[in-house]
Amino acid sequence: MDQSDLRAWEARCIQDEPPHCQAACPIHVDVRTFMAKMAAGDFNAAWPVLTRTMPLPHTLCHICDHPCETRCLRNQAGESLAIHLLEKSCIALCDQRMRPSLIRSKDKKIAVIGSSLDGLTVAWDLSRKGYSVTLLHADMPETFLTAQLGTALPPEALATDIALLKQTSVLFSTQDTLPLGSLTKGHLETLLAEFDGVYLSMGTPHLEILPQWIREQANPLTLAGPLDGLYTGGWADPFSPIQAIADGRKAAASLDRYASKVSLTALRDKEGPQSTRLYTSLTGVEDALRIPVSSECYLPDEAAAEASRCLQCQCLECVKICPYLEHFKGYPKTYARQIHNNAAIVKGLHLSNPLINSCSLCGLCEEVCPENFSMANLCLSARQDMVTTGKMPLSAHDFALQDMEFSNSDHFAMVRNQPGHATSRYLFFPGCQICSSRPGHTRAVYAHLCASLDGGVALMLGCCGAPATWAGRTDLTEACTQNLHRTWEDRGRPTIILACSSCMAEFKAALPDIPVVSLWTILD
């Protein structure tokens, strides 16, 4: 398995896909982990989950328009989680001790024109990456945002975030250095000569009269403006707080890339809202409505109860029904990585050999997986590679191979027409394991077939070659397959009746031209 094969296998497993709520969030807040902490009543641990992703968290927790709630899977089993209210409640219930990150300062300066949510987000993100940020006309955030958002934004929430910004490398300009009402290309070029990058917030008052060429020529992927080093955003209509925040985050990432002289476009497909392939079964999930709130925010018990309604969305459909997959404490994507790394070991212990050799190749995982991921095919391919490269432990499949060798030897193997018949329309192949474990049943079934079917029923004892396939021994599988095909030809190409599901799988895969039918279909 090379790297491209590994990536293809990993892409088939959806367990690591984000939950629908997180995928819907433009800044990808880890709602699932947040809910787990809130449900446990650990509000101090829940708060850092939010602040890891949220800029201006005290502000955003109050004003977010929560698109996550519309995609919450709980909508299909009662009512969506009160995600926004729980975030706001977390502020009231936790011990907030947020400190600015101590990051080595870069010798880079960024100017942010305007102090709306997107501009403040640019300042927040870049200051935490070590940039010196100057917010021009930064005397406006409290006045403008409070007026724009009304009572949804408590003044103390914004004041707390502004205070945190002031503790970093953000300089709040108090001088009227730019004529916002008549900002020209020349003004922008002057700033670009002084700074390593400039962000122009189109959501700030008076900037809406700017020439349309700035907005029309902005790149939607990177928010790069018409001048080198200029980035702009914040013009969503209708206004959306979380979209403004997302614009600021995207612009901050672009400015960081621009200042670092790396690609502005590479690997940006996961920014903003996205789709997700994550499947979560709702079988057995009872409907549950939101916990009523007794005041402006949830009380501790109410918050824990509401967060407990979270389904903690994940797939693991294969792990739920397979003791083998459950035993190794992972899921197919992680197993694919382990198997790839195991094959790369030149010297040392191959710790994933038990994982590779323990799968019974039954195919149940593929049947239940929404993406048809087959651990059977993955493990079988790995076994064949190990045999080819001489890394398969001799003991791994030794017993099964010896059993197969015995079953195809003169001590056991035979083929005969039904007594009194020179030809056979059918051939009963019970398989080696049923013969050895229940010979009486095998005799009784054969007698029943001979009495019930016309045209003669031949009997063939032997092994179909499945143990060789399981062991990755393609040479032994091929030899066994050729012998079976010769016998079928010699007997006049009868329809083969198979009693064993492993034999059925082996015949269909290795001998597709031979007509086969299940004994259980005949008996039915």
Report the CATH number at residue 46.
1.10.1060.10
Within-domain flag for 268:
no
Longest Cα–Cα distance in the chain: 111
**Which range has highest mean pLDDT (91-105, 153-167, 403-417)?**
403-417
Mutual angle of helices 474-490 and 398-407, in 10-degree steps: 20
Count of positions (residues) in the chain: 524
Domain with 358 in it = 317-394
CATH code, 216: 3.50.50.60
Do residues 22 and 92 share a domain? yes
Strand order in the sheet with 197-201: 170-172, 132-136, 109-113, 197-201, 230-233
Residue 44, both tokens: 């101090």
Examine the fold and report which residue of 394, 412, 431 is the final residue of a domain before the chain moves on: 394
Residue at a domain's end among 287, 307, 327: 307
Mean pLDDT for 373-398 is: 91
Q: Are residues 237 and 115 in the same domain?
A: yes
Q: Any idea which of 36-50, 225-239, 278-292, 479-493 has the lowest mean pLDDT?
A: 225-239
Q: Tell me if 497 is assigned to some domain.
A: yes
Residues 85 and 133 occupy one common structural domain:
no
Does residue 138 register a pLDDT over 60?
A: no
Same domain as 243, residue 118 = yes
Q: What pLDDT score does 140 carry? A: 60
**Residue 168 within any structural domain of the chain:** yes
**Are 465 and 433 within one domain?**
yes
354/236 same-domain check: no
Summarised one tens digit per residue, pLDDT across range 257-308 is 999 999 999 999 999 999 999 999 999 999 999 999 988 899 999 999 999 9
Residue of 222, 200, 211 lying closest to 272 (CA atoms) = 222
- 6 is a domain residue: no
Q: Is residue 266 part of a domain?
A: no
**pLDDT-based confidence at residue 148 (cuts at 50, 70, 90):** low
Does residue 2 carry a pLDDT above 90? no
Q: Are residues 128 and 199 in the same domain?
A: yes
DSSP code for 338: H
Assess if residue 204 is contained within a domain. yes
pLDDT-based confidence at residue 498 (cuts at 50, 70, 90): very high
- The average pLDDT across 328-340 equals 94
In the predicted model, what is the mean pLDDT of the chain? 91
| Domain identity same for 37 and 159 | no
Q: The domain spanning residue 415 has which CATH number?
A: 3.40.50
Residue for token pair 């003991």:
395
CA angle 411, 412, 416 (to 5 degrees): 120
* pTM exceeding 0.85: no
Distances (CA, A) of 387 to 357, 362, 391, 472, 474: 12, 21, 6, 6, 9
pLDDT of 371 reads 95
In this prediction, residue 392 has a pLDDT band, given cuts at 50, 70 and 90, of: confident
CA angle in degrees (0–180, nearest 5) for 44-49-55:
110
pLDDT class for 452, splitting at 50, 70, 90? very high
Alpha carbon 516 to chain centroid, angstroms: 40
Sorting pLDDT into bands at 50, 70 and 90, what band is 350?
confident
Beta strands in 152-234 (DSSP E): 170-172, 197-201, 230-233
Whether 347 and 322 share a structural domain: yes
Overall number of domains in the chain: 4
Instruction: Give the model's pLDDT for residue 115.
Output: 78
Same domain, 356 and 471: no
Three-state DSSP state, 185 = helix
Please check whether residues 232 and 248 belong to one and the same domain.
Answer: yes
Q: How confident is the model at residue 517 (pLDDT cuts 50, 70, 90)?
A: very high
pLDDT at 101: 65
Is residue 269 domain-resident? Answer: no
pLDDT (0 to 100) of residue 206:
53
Q: Are residues 243 and 359 in the same domain?
A: no
Domain closes at, from 379, 394, 409 = 394
**29-69 pLDDT tens trace:** 999 999 999 999 999 999 999 999 999 999 999 999 999 99
13 lies in some domain: no
